[in-house]
Amino acid sequence: QKEVEQNSGPLSVPEGAIASLNCTYSDRGSQSFFWYRQYSGKSPELIMSIYSNGDKEDGRFTAQLNKASQYVSLLIRDSQPSDSATYLCAVKDFGNEKLTFGTGTRLTIIP
Amino acid sequence: NAGVMQNPRHLVRRRGQEARLRCSPMKGHSHVYWYRQLPEEGLKFMVYLQKENIIDESGMPKERFSAEFPKEGPSILRIQQVVRGDSAAYFCASSPRGTGGAGEQYFGPGTRLTVT
């Protein structure tokens, strides 16, 4: 059974520092990778998608993908208190539309 | 607002009643997905639909649950004879592309179902 693993946290990071969130997946057939942010009581919000090995940057966010190691990460630079949320990693196989989610990492930014 | 719309946002049902959850995809999107999030658990895929077709229902419980996406109108997730274990947040997502594409999925606000 396909698994997506995340450290549940909580991960505490001082304001202004870099937050690093990690995710591993078990299925080598996984082709697309997504990071969602979910505030308590709210719906998941897409932050980043990445499909190729390497880094992808968007503002303060950088997604990193290493398919050989089956590892995807999200870096948040200059962390802000508003970044405090649960971050969900999701993977999708080519030709299969469903997302498989990890259980999420709870991130707290300390002012 | 061109986002994914879901209603109702909160739904309370007594055990044995039926629950109907509605989802309208983003403008221009023709693919709809339903996910369930149980308290303190991750999001779990339930079903993937296109207009008038169920494409993948591998995550749907075998009994009491059904979904449709008619030619006209919203997608509907129906839960018959609800039980307390059905209490959860039900999220709908939509995407503009289907099989073979990267297909980013965008989520609606969710329906929080409480079974009493």
For range B71-80, the mean pLDDT: 96
By DSSP bridging, strand A105-110 and strand A11-14 are: parallel
Q: How far apart are CA B93 and CA B7, in angstroms?
A: 13
Strands (DSSP E) contained in chain B are: 5-7, 10-13, 19-24, 31-37, 43-50, 53-56, 65-68, 75-79, 88-95, 106-107, 111-115
The beta-carbon neighbor of A99 closest among B55, B100, B105 is: B105
pLDDT at residue A13, rounded to an integer: 97
Alpha-carbon distance A49 to nearest alpha carbon in chain B (angstroms) = 8
Average pLDDT, chain A: 94
**pLDDT at residue B6 tops 90:** yes
A22-67: per-residue pLDDT in tens?
A: 999 998 888 899 999 999 999 999 999 999 999 999 999 999 999 9
A94 touches chain B (CB under 8 A): yes
pLDDT at residue A108, rounded to an integer: 97
**pLDDT at residue B98 tops 60:** no
A102 touches chain B (CB under 8 A): yes
Tell me if A34 sits within 8 A of A48, measured CB to CB: yes
Q: How far apart are CA B69 and CA A26, in angstroms?
A: 32
Write the single-letter amino acid at A55: D
CA A41 from centre of chain: 19
**pLDDT at residue B1 tops 70:** no
Average pLDDT, chain B: 92
The beta-carbon neighbor of B103 closest among A36, A88, A97 is: A97
For range B42-53, the mean pLDDT: 94
Tell me if A109 sits within 8 A of A84, measured CB to CB: yes
Q: Which residues contact B102 (CB under 8 A, 6 or more apart)?
A: A31, A32, A49, A51, A92
Q: Do A102 and B48 touch (CB under 8 A)?
A: no
**pLDDT at residue B115 tops 90:** yes
Three-state DSSP state, B107 = strand
With CA atoms as reference, the chain B residue closest to A104 would be B42
For range B66-94, the mean pLDDT: 96
A72-107: per-residue pLDDT in tens?
A: 999 999 999 999 999 999 999 877 889 999 999 999
Interface size A-B, in CB pairs within 8 Å, comes to 64
The beta-carbon neighbor of A97 closest among B44, B91, B99 is: B99
Cα angle for residues B2, B6, B8 (degrees, 5° grid): 140
